[in-house]
Chains A and B, each alone.
Chain A
Amino acid sequence: KQEVTQIPAALSVPEGENLVLNCSFTDSAIYNLQWFRQDPGKGLTSLLLIQSSQREQTSGRLNASLDKSSGRSTLYIAASQPGDSATYLCAVPGGASGGSYIPTFGRGTSLIVHP
């Protein structure tokens, strides 16, 4: 069974800092990995999807990397802003070894960027 861990659970930083959020998973035979943000009381917003054959994806100030062999992904946020404050979640499908497309989600990293 796939297990996903996100570290740290919470992070509070001043505006302008560069950040790294971590996601690790136990079954490396994955199809892809997806990063989301969730604002309080809202649904999840997709940020980046990395296919298993890719090493990284970039969107604006966000960069996500994937190291399948070690079971890790990082989300890098450059020049953080107060509007980046949210919970960030990573999700991976069940693992190709299990043949499942059902994603397993981490518990998330709660980020606060203060002015």
Chain B
Amino acid sequence: GAGVSQSPSNKVTEKGKDVELRCDPISGHTALYWYRQSLGQGLEFLIYFQGNSAPDKSGLPSDRFSAERTGGSVSTLTIQRTQQEDSAVYLCASSLVSGNEQFFGPGTRLTVL
């Protein structure tokens, strides 16, 4: 594809609901990263996929957060039982291989009421 795409661009949900955020990486990119950016904060790493290897989940803040990557392409980040502190912009990035230049999507702005 032309670039990394994410959907939805904005999501407003009620506390306690589950949400799914989608990321379509650049075609052929084997590495995919999820980050979170809270208001006034830096980028917080969440999870990293490289090819068919087991993902690095070391950045996930709680067991309410999970992610999968199907067929080595599209990835979905799921947040269960959302809390107000989950409100942030969720960014996805991909690179050709690990350690190469990263390309970011536009992000999904999540607001938990």
Is B56 interfacial (CB-CB < 8 Å)?
A: yes
| Residue total for B at the interface (Cβ-Cβ under 8 A) | 24
Interface of chain B residues 69 through 106 with chain A (CB within 8 A): 91, 93, 98-106
- Residue of A whose beta carbon sits closest to that of B44: A105
B12 interface contact, C-beta 8 A = no
Residue B65 CB within 8 A of the other chain: no
Query: CB-nearest residue of chain B relative to A93?
Result: B99
User: Contacts of B91 on A, CB cut-off 8 Å?
Assistant: 43-44
Residues of A in contact with B, size category: 20 to 34
Q: Which of B33, B100, B106 meets A102, CB within 8 Å?
A: B33
- A102 with B45: CB separation less than 8 A: yes
| Residues in B neighbouring A102, C-beta threshold 8 A | 33, 45, 48, 56, 58-59
Seen from chain B, the residues whose Cβ lies within 8 Å of a Cβ on chain A are: 4, 31, 33, 42-43, 45, 48, 50, 56, 58-59, 91, 93, 98-107, 109
Residues of A within 8 A of B (CB): 31-32, 34, 36, 41-46, 49, 89, 91, 93, 100-108
Closest 7 A/B residue pairs (Cβ): A101-B98, A43-B104, A44-B104, A105-B43, A49-B101, A43-B106, A107-B42
